[in-house]
Structure 1
Amino acid sequence: MTDDLKAHADRLRELHHADEMLVLPNVWDAASAAIVAEAGFPVVATASAAISAMLGYPDGEGAPWREMFAAAGRVARAVSVPVTMDAEAGYGMDPRELVDRLLEIGVVGCNLEDTDHRAGGLVDAGVHGERLAAIRAVADDAGVPIVINARVDVFLSQSGAPEEERVAEAIRRGRIYLEAGADCVYPIGVGDERAIATLVAEVPGPINGNTRPGVLDLTKLGELGVARVSYGPRLYREALAALKSSVEELAP
């Protein structure tokens, strides 16, 4: 089992450095995971906002962690490709418990936010870097080098700050997180092309971006040098919108 998980972790890491951009249409259950895998995508990624909504809870660690892990475990069992979990801010778990629980459900990657959902606001970058380093050490000791996608929440939490200040802070945090052992940096919420290009140039590791309808598509993100693109809860919301439309057509 450990050998299989290690092979999946190694493959996931390799895809962050491939010539072709890693595209992740995020899923929320076993059925959506199977659709993504059957379409030929080499990795399946969960979306915490979508899973939380499916379970009836708000995003931002509003759902019980056991339910979140159970849902991600069902995703992992449904496919034969590597699975990475949006683990939000880690649910207050110490590094060993977090790694153990990820491996127990067959997951080889995780998103980890630098937001403190209990206190509100961003975690100190140095403190968060130490946590990432501890998670990296535990995962390596377990024999499965889990792929850590370090989410930088500057563009969400400091929306009123000048753009150049947020970019500079995202670069600072991204460098700290990569030095601590993260594999990819995810500056969620950044949508300006110049800001993305600056982040790609100044952060010495893969950058995770998001498309924006009518503004940023996969081609443009590829041209900017983004290594990984995720969709978060967008596909889940589109699926619900389609369901709503179909139901309304049937309504008396």
Structure 2
Amino acid sequence: MPLNHDLARQFADAHASGELLVLPTVWDVWSARLAVDAGFPGLTIGSHPVANAVGSEDGETMNFEHYLDVARAIVAAVDVPVSVDVESGYGLAPEELLEQVAETGAVGMNIEDTVHGEGGRIRSREEHAEYIAGVRRAADAKDLALVIDARTDAIKRGTADFEDPEAEAVERMKLMADAGARSLYPVGVTDHEQITRLVQVVDVPLNVTASPVANQPGDLETLRKLGVRRVTWGPKWQDEAVELLKDSLRHWVK
């Protein structure tokens, strides 16, 4: 598939607009079309819900080529920008990762610092920033305005790994922004005061995982007032759908 230069620029401009973007996290063509038909301006493909859908486990256990086939089908089925969660990169060099993902027509990537294929270690600040910079350089070489959503698990991993997880996340966020990330994703942030502090760290949008049903860590207006500029759903939309389906089945089982 040809590179989606126009959609990439549209997606990058949306991230630079200062407005709050809600990007539903989808796992197949069906869920993607539901979200687009509802009026959302872009989508994220989540490794966790895709793994659930194909009977695998999250954490880079899926066959990457098969995962990209899912991404390719979703991109072909919709007319909005699509970003792909590539976890830590599946062991690929930045240039090869960009080549394979861009070929699907996706115009964004979520890249995290936990390396599941290497025992779940977390990259150092500098290593992760350099990996992101490598992807940015590869995209720039193709004149592709790729949106890199750079994720850090420092807060999620907590004091087992870092004396001050939030301070560690802040330092990582600064380096990731300097490396070319167009949004930042400190996983594990749910406290409103913490969100308020983190949105002030850098100028690029802060991504927060929210539940489309439970309104946690806040509903749309609450998150907007806190300064959040990008919302994704992780596996939460799929989780809600699963509960509804389970409930419907209970009435038909003796």
TM-score tier, shorter chain, comes to over 0.9
Structure 1 length-normalised TM: 0.93
Separation (CA, whole Å) in 2 of partners of 1:140 and 1:215 = 35
Contact 1:171–1:203, Cα closer than 8 Å, also in 2: no
What's the counterpart of residue 49 of structure 1? Answer: 48
Counterpart of 1:183?
Answer: 182
Residue of structure 1 equivalent to 2:234? 232
Structure 2 Cα separation of the partners of residues 140 and 19 of structure 1: 23
Post-superposition offset of 1:179 = 0.5
Deviation at residue 12 of structure 1 after TM alignment: 0.9
1:60 and 1:228 map into 2 onto residues whose CA distance is 23
Identical amino acids, percent of aligned pairs = 36
Q: Distance in 2 between matches of 1:85 and 1:71?
A: 10
Q: Does 1:157 align with 2:157?
A: yes
Alignment match, 1:138: 138
Amino acid at match of 1:245: D
* Shift in alpha-carbon separation, 1:226–1:97, aligned structure 2, 3 A: same
Alpha-carbon distance in 2 for matches of 1:174, 1:85: 20
User: 8 Å contact 1:152–1:186 — kept in the other structure?
Assistant: yes
Mapped contact 2:195–2:226 kept (Cα < 8 A): yes
For normalisation by structure 2, the TM-score amounts to 0.93
Distance 2:187 2:219 in 1: 15
Aligned-residue Cα RMSD (Å) equals: 1.8
Aligned-pair distance for 1:227? 0.7
Matched, 1:70 2:69: yes
Alignment coverage as a number of residue pairs: 250
Is 1:209 paired with 2:211?
Answer: no
Per-residue CA deviations over 1:185-220 (Å, capped at 9, x if unaligned) read: 100111111111111112232110123535422221
Q: 1:223 aligns with which of 222, 225, 241?
A: 225
Q: 1:159 to 1:31 in 2, by over 3 A?
A: farther
SS, match of residue 185 in structure 1:
strand
Q: Equivalents in 2 of 1:209, 1:52: separation in Å?
A: 21
Q: 1:151 & 1:210 partners in 2: Cα distance?
A: 11
* Aligned mates of 1:202, 1:86 — CA distance in 2: 23
Q: Aligned to 1:85, what secondary structure does the other structure show? A: strand
Partner residue in 2 for 1:101: 100
Q: Matches of 2:236 and 2:59 in 1, distance apart?
A: 16
Structure 1 match to 2:246 = 244
Runs of 5+ consecutive residues of structure 2 not aligned to the other structure? none
Between 113-122 and 86-95, report the one with greater CA deviation.
113-122
**CA 1:36 to 1:137, structure 2 compared with 1: closer, same or farther past 3 Å?**
same
* 3-state SS of paired residue (1:149): strand
Q: Equivalent residue for 2:81?
A: 82
Per-residue CA deviations over 1:95-120 (Å, capped at 9, x if unaligned) read: 12111111111101010001111232
